[in-house]
Structure 1
Amino acid sequence: MKNKKKKKAQLPFRINILFFVVFLLFSVLILQLGVVQILNGEDFQDEIERTNLDTTKIPVPRGKIYDRYGNVIVDNNAVYSITYTPPKGVQAEDRLEVAEKLAEYIAMDDEDTLERITERNKKEYWYLLNKEEADGRLSEVETEGMNNAEVYNKTLDLITEEEISDFSKQELEVIAIKKELDKAYSLTPQVVKNENVTTEEYAVVAEHLDEMPGINATTDWNREYPFGTTLTSLLGNISSQDQGLPAEKEESYLSKGYSRNDRVGTSGLELQYEDLLRGRKEQIQYTTTKSGTVIDSETIVEGERGKDLVLTIDMEFQEEVDKIVEEELKAAKSQYPYENQYLTDALAVVMNPNTGELLAVSGSHYNKDTNKYEDGGFRALSDAHTPGSVVKGATVLAGLDSGVISPGEVIYDRPIKIYETPLMRSYSTNIGSVNDITALQKSSNVYMYYISLRMMGENRYPFPTNESVNRTNPNAFQTLRNYFNQFGLGVSTGIDYPHESTGYQGNGNSPGNMMNHGIGQYDQYTVVQLAQYVSTIANDGYRVRPHFLKEVREPLASQDELGPVYKSVNADVMNKVTMDDSYIDRVQEGFRQVFQQGGTAYRHYNDANYTVAGKTGTAEVTIFDDGEELADTLSHNLVGYAPYEDPEIAFAIIVPTTGENINNISNHKIGRKILDTYFEMKKERAQASPDEENEADEQEDTDTEDEEE
């Protein structure tokens, strides 16, 4: 009994200890909660209110563009820029408040900016200043069934012209600023002003950033052209901040990570190589509260400006070619000072026939409205012209390969008259007997006519006067075109440019049309197509893709020199003309005789200290204006390559609508001066740095040999 009583007495003591321990634990917990609530409550509340991490992308400068010798063609000019990145949940009233404050520090009063303020912009501003009065103009009955947007638009409609007609200049500046702020997307910088931002404006805005949520004073870049307008029509343009992404391609750009107000290439090489030039945006990750207040930021991706492009173009040579083309166009135009339909263009393309590298692409365009001459280089790729006799090399090769003429076959040049077709003859009436080579040398139309007739199945020789063609091969026209296509005539050249014309193809199929096609008087081609055509002949039948891009370089932080090679562009053989090489040898000999042995170009090049081969061409064309026939005129054209023994330069020249003077030789003057300039510059460079020149020549030879293998 004693032991039992003792055990019962011990139990309450243990329970008391347990209760005491529990009491201490609760006391500590209550104390800790008090500390959390009272001392650290605000910090923990901020932690609770944090949103997900948001990332903004900061634009970087575009890549630069250089010529083949490392001269900067397109650069970036840093300019001060005022931008706005709207916080989350920002309202129209908030943007107005920021605009009013920013208007105290920057000027937005240039004429163009103020002219772009619309009536709606003014009404939206008046509405924000007089919101209660404006909302009271619509009754509940009038707004019944309307959504918020419809009510807002109806309210704006009720604001009178008188109410928005007397804004001060300061108020108009506020409206102009708010207009830019309204374009901004969440966490995407929108440029408010980046043209003519003064040092004072930049500094004062930077000092007062804390007063204007979302505003930043930063740097933007505009494209700069050290060579002025040279090549600019081919380099292309980039969009402005006002334009942003092109509407028709917006979804495509957005899917690639662009923002709506990003500046992108819109034409030319800027568009062609947008993916390389755009660079990698700097990505900053923000942590914000639910109210939009930024708590922290971290750079998660370092920005890198776009990659640099090295073009095949020789800008020093390009400038000289531009000068030659414009001067000769002006000189020819002086014959017809009051005839605006004549001599509106002169175009030239110069390329390496072995590699396809474009050395110069030039065009001068006479603007009859302004009476000024403009850069028209892009027209060498976009405008199709009647080529005339320059295509006769392709016609002879079609005849030889199809077997309708044999090597050395002689035909007497006399006019041909087929039924219901005008008399068809050569320009010269005393050509006499010619074979496939001398027909090119003397530019016999009749020889080409017989090739066309025989391809159609008509084998009578001489052809009976005024009789119908006995056409047994209905596919002959397409067969002849297929031969032309192998040289790049009538098809894409494959040039690295966003828009290229493939020429114009006539839709007739008569024997007369085919005969005219054989002398270059039917289908039409661009100058770059003709350059590829003559390059193919110079290159022993290998059609090489013409290209502007030579290399892509990694950008360097210093931005003062070229970085490591990212990519090199080598010669790309698109096809080999499918015919016996000996046929091409014969056409090459014919082309040589044109320039060197009494041919149609001999008198213009016989004293040159280099050897040239090629073909002349005079085409009959009709000038139209809005469908109205203005005049019949001539187009003087020329294709060729040099040196004949080892071609390193090929060229094509078109001077359309040269007027009524058949003796106009502007095409030859342009061709001779271009060739003289090329070889003189080559000599000067070799003398200045012989080792570099020899290394370059050896490298080009190696590239060509590798491509052929």
Structure 2
Amino acid sequence: MVSKKKKKKRAQLPFRLNILFFIVFLLFSALVLQLGVVQILNGEAFQAEIDRTTNDFTEVSVPRGKMYDRNHELIVGNDAAYSITYTPEKGVQAEDRLEVAENLAEYISMDSEDDLDNVTLRDKREYWYLNNQEEAKSLLSKAETEEMDNGEVYNETLKRIDKEKVDDYSKQQLEVMAIKKEMDKAMSLTPQVIKNEDVSPEEFARVSAHLDELPGVNATTDWNREYPYEDTFRDFAGSITSETQGIPADQQDYYLTRGYSRNDRVGNSGLEEQYESVLRGRKEKIQYTTNSDGTVVDSEVVVDGQRGKDLVLTVDMELQQELDKILRDELKAAITQEPGENKHMEYATAVVMDPNTGEILAASGQRYDDKENEFTTSETISIFNASEPGSSIKGATMLAGYGSGVIEPGQQFYDTTINIASTPPKSSWTNLGWVNDYEALEQSSNVYMFYIAMRMGGYFNYEPNEPMPVEGGTYDEMRNYYAQFGLGVETGIDFPQESTGFTGPNGSGGTLDLAIGQYDTYTTMQLAQYVSTIANGGSRVRPHFMKEIRNPIPHEEGLGPVHESFNTDVMNQLQMSTSEIDRVQEGFRRVFQSPNGTADHHFADKPYDAAGKTGTAEYDKYYSDGTKASTENLSLVGYAPHEKPEVAFAINVPFTGTGSDYPINHNIGKGILDAYFDVNEDNEN
């Protein structure tokens, strides 16, 4: 019996094994079937995913266009400089950047005060965090982190890192932080400058030799602006942002919609800003091919870069240098000359332009600090600072009288003190007696201009000591006439901003002061446009710095072919007749060349046959403590030659004091015309 049981038991084992084998067979069959489905039905899709690549594009900045003067002398150029950049691949983590920064710190230094001062407490905490992540995680409890997202957890962790932990970093470690700080600004596949100032040839060579251990880092050639004339014309040329600054935050929307990157350098003042779209050039466009891991497997230049177009400006740098020197010399002489009271001279400005085309030949502003005995060039105050010019604008007042019909050519008025009820007496510098329009300009009669203003206000029958009724629209009418010359309105100059001056209130009696340039204020550029309008016979031309835009010559010095030329832009014509304009021109000629002219003894013996108008405005300068000082503003406008003008100028020197007889405005005017005609003779020879 026993043997039978054992035999029966042995017979049951194969059956169980068969069941087990059958189950294994089924599982294996299912696996084979699944592999078949994957291979046959979805194989191509999965293989495509494995082989998938992505094309991304990046743009590389190119050098900006250059600026030249009218004689093709370089004003603003590009100076090649070594540059260390970082272009991160996709998916690069903070730990990866730190490792690259530590390696890069072995080959370059970031030890300037600016670099190290820019390392913040947060930068130091981030550096500590990356090197002590386990300890950092313990700074927050699990309960605290449950209600925070990852960003909140990270920021809160940084806050809890004690300052003591990050106070004793070495200089080398701070340099690593400075490098990583710049690397962190980089966007995927977009070059970010790590260092482009003072990169030594040794640093450049070391980085170049170790690029294989510095993923994303490149040693390349960058550029910086150079100025062969140093500070001369720098204010007008303007400036650009740095690579680290990039686009100003308040202008990012404007530039990003025009194809810029955030770290692009852009013009932020002067002509650099005005002609940004011309100077910027066309960036090189590179296509990067990356696989599914984010690794770059190929790159190709799809758009060749081209540096910006060049600007040929209207200025003559030799004349510009002379103008700067004239203003400095005369300003210093006037300040140190005695006698004179209430001298508060801060600056002198002048503009020189072609009255027929509006081309600005030179423009300058100079400030003088008598305590430090030094000058500061502030060229743009010629278009930003406005003051009362005095009698310089009497040509516009005379033509307003003609245009409004309140006076006729040759009309006379008796020049004696004007007494209007409840108003201080008003007069010319002396009682001139009977004067006509020529003589009123020649001898600078205030009273003649007062009569024009009164008549434009409807007051034709002046009676001494009687009130002066003036029609309400007189101010507007007078200013509308002045605007025809560019006074009190924008000149239209090709510059980012300009001042239009200050408009006085429409109060009783102000029209008389307005008529002699002692009410509203004007800039030197406005005065230059005004006198040019008279000089050229009545065309108000737009002043401009741009003469030509030239296409760049690849890999060559010099100027390329003309892309665009700037022609004369007549903004408006005077509403007065040619004969009336001729009378003002003759009056201006007498100012400079007639024995009774207010500038005759300065210009009559000059060979260039000049014409123009002098100006003195009495002015009260107020101080922050409430006190005031009576002073004067001196101006001068002119052009030459009288018959066929080729150059016009305007000069403004505020706060010259009282009691001083130093003719700073006349001396500057003579210096300008002397220099101009000398410059032209040199160029012709």
Could you tell me the TM-score, scaled by structure 1's length? Answer: 0.88
1:10 maps to which residue? Answer: none
SS at match of 1:250: helix
Deviations 1:65-108 (A, max 9, x none): 00001000000000000001111111111111110010011011
Q: Does residue 575 of the first structure (1) align with residue 572 of the second (2)?
A: yes
How far is the alpha carbon of 1:113 from its aligned partner?
A: 1.1
Q: 1:374 aligns with which of 363, 373, 376?
A: 376
Q: Separation in 2 of the partners of 1:92 and 1:421?
A: 77
2:645 maps to which residue? Answer: 647
- Written as runs of structure 1 = structure 2, the 5 A alignment for 1:358-397 is 358-367=360-369, 371-397=373-399
- Written as runs of structure 1 = structure 2, the 5 A alignment for 1:377-456 is 377-427=379-429, 429-456=430-457
Q: Separation in 2 of the partners of 1:348 and 1:651?
A: 7
Deviations 1:240-297 (A, max 9, x none): 1121001111011011111000000000000000000000000110101122211111
Deviations 1:632-687 (A, max 9, x none): 2111100011000100000000011112234231110000011011111212222x
1:222 maps to which residue? Answer: 224
SS at match of 1:608: coil
Q: Which amino acid aligns with 1:441?
A: E
Q: Separation in 1 of the partners of 2:513 and 2:613?
A: 17
2:675 maps to which residue? Answer: 677
Change over 3 Å in CA distance of 1:322–1:474 after alignment to 2? same
- Written as runs of structure 1 = structure 2, the 5 A alignment for 1:181-196 is 181-196=183-198
Q: Separation in 2 of the partners of 1:390 and 1:417?
A: 24
Give 5+ residue unaligned stretches, structure 1.
1-29, 689-709
- Written as runs of structure 1 = structure 2, the 5 A alignment for 1:72-91 is 72-91=74-93
Q: Which amino acid aligns with 1:597?
A: S
Q: Separation in 1 of the partners of 2:320 and 2:221?
A: 33
SS at match of 2:618: strand
Q: 1:309 aligns with which of 308, 311, 328?
A: 311
1:498 maps to which residue? Answer: 496
How far is the alpha carbon of 1:482 from its aligned partner?
A: 0.3
1:352 maps to which residue? Answer: 354
Deviations 1:173-206 (A, max 9, x none): 1001001001111111110000110111111111
How far is the alpha carbon of 1:630 from its aligned partner?
A: 4.0
SS at match of 1:657: coil
Change over 3 Å in CA distance of 1:87–1:273 after alignment to 2? same
Change over 3 Å in CA distance of 1:629–1:535 after alignment to 2? farther
Change over 3 Å in CA distance of 1:272–1:592 after alignment to 2? same
Q: Separation in 2 of the partners of 1:92 and 1:390?
A: 67
Give 5+ residue unaligned stretches, structure 2.
1-35
SS at match of 1:179: helix
Q: 1:208 aligns with which of 200, 207, 210?
A: 210
Q: Separation in 1 of the partners of 2:191 and 2:200?
A: 20
Change over 3 Å in CA distance of 1:339–1:408 after alignment to 2? closer
Q: Separation in 1 of the partners of 2:469 and 2:651?
A: 37
How far is the alpha carbon of 1:361 from its aligned partner?
A: 0.6
SS at match of 1:166: coil
C-alpha contact 1:341 1:623 (8 A) present in aligned 2: no
Q: Does residue 667 of the first structure (1) align with residue 668 of the second (2)?
A: no
2:242 maps to which residue? Answer: 240
Q: Which amino acid aligns with 2:631?
A: T
SS at match of 2:522: coil
SS at match of 1:53: strand
Q: Separation in 2 of the partners of 1:685 and 1:623?
A: 44
- Written as runs of structure 1 = structure 2, the 5 A alignment for 1:272-671 is 272-335=274-337, 342-367=344-369, 371-427=373-429, 429-461=430-462, 463-465=463-465, 467-471=466-470, 473-510=471-508, 512-598=509-595, 599-626=597-624, 628-671=626-669
C-alpha contact 2:337 2:662 (8 A) present in aligned 1: no
Could you tell me the TM-score, scaled by structure 2's length? Answer: 0.91
2:23 maps to which residue? Answer: none
How far is the alpha carbon of 1:142 from its aligned partner?
A: 2.1
Change over 3 Å in CA distance of 1:457–1:364 after alignment to 2? same
Q: How many residues align?
A: 644
C-alpha contact 1:477 1:509 (8 A) present in aligned 2: no
C-alpha contact 2:328 2:368 (8 A) present in aligned 1: no
C-alpha contact 2:88 2:187 (8 A) present in aligned 1: yes
Deviations 1:506-530 (A, max 9, x none): 12332x1110000000000100000
Q: Separation in 2 of the partners of 1:630 and 1:612?
A: 38
SS at match of 1:259: coil
Deviations 1:397-426 (A, max 9, x none): 111111111111111111112122111111
Change over 3 Å in CA distance of 1:556–1:523 after alignment to 2? same
Q: Separation in 2 of the partners of 1:507 and 1:265?
A: 38
Q: Does residue 110 of the first structure (1) align with residue 112 of the second (2)?
A: yes
SS at match of 1:507: coil
Change over 3 Å in CA distance of 1:590–1:68 after alignment to 2? same
Q: 2:150 aligns with which of 148, 170, 174?
A: 148
1:24 maps to which residue? Answer: none
Q: Separation in 2 of the partners of 1:341 and 1:438?
A: 31
Q: Separation in 2 of the partners of 1:269 and 1:625?
A: 34
Change over 3 Å in CA distance of 1:628–1:269 after alignment to 2? farther
Q: Which amino acid aligns with 2:622?
A: F
How far is the alpha carbon of 1:145 from its aligned partner?
A: 2.3
Q: Separation in 2 of the partners of 1:436 and 1:338?
A: 33
C-alpha contact 2:66 2:311 (8 A) present in aligned 1: yes
SS at match of 1:285: strand
Change over 3 Å in CA distance of 1:640–1:338 after alignment to 2? closer
- Written as runs of structure 1 = structure 2, the 5 A alignment for 1:667-706 is 667-686=665-684, 688=685
Change over 3 Å in CA distance of 1:171–1:606 after alignment to 2? same
C-alpha contact 1:336 1:342 (8 A) present in aligned 2: no
How far is the alpha carbon of 1:337 from its aligned partner?
A: 12
Change over 3 Å in CA distance of 1:231–1:416 after alignment to 2? same
C-alpha contact 2:342 2:657 (8 A) present in aligned 1: no
Q: Separation in 2 of the partners of 1:49 and 1:194?
A: 38
* Aligned-residue identity in percent: 58
How far is the alpha carbon of 1:150 from its aligned partner?
A: 1.9
Q: Which amino acid aligns with 1:470?
A: P
Q: 1:251 aligns with which of 229, 250, 253?
A: 253
SS at match of 2:53: coil
C-alpha contact 2:104 2:214 (8 A) present in aligned 1: yes
Q: Which amino acid aligns with 2:566?
A: V
How far is the alpha carbon of 1:603 from its aligned partner?
A: 0.4
How far is the alpha carbon of 1:370 from its aligned partner?
A: 5.6
Q: Which amino acid aligns with 1:489?
A: L
Q: Which amino acid aligns with 2:602?
A: H
- Written as runs of structure 1 = structure 2, the 5 A alignment for 1:64-75 is 64-75=66-77
Q: Separation in 1 of the partners of 2:114 and 2:247?
A: 21
SS at match of 2:240: coil
C-alpha contact 2:413 2:436 (8 A) present in aligned 1: yes
1:695 maps to which residue? Answer: none
Q: Separation in 1 of the partners of 2:547 and 2:206?
A: 45
Q: Separation in 2 of the partners of 1:552 and 1:88?
A: 40
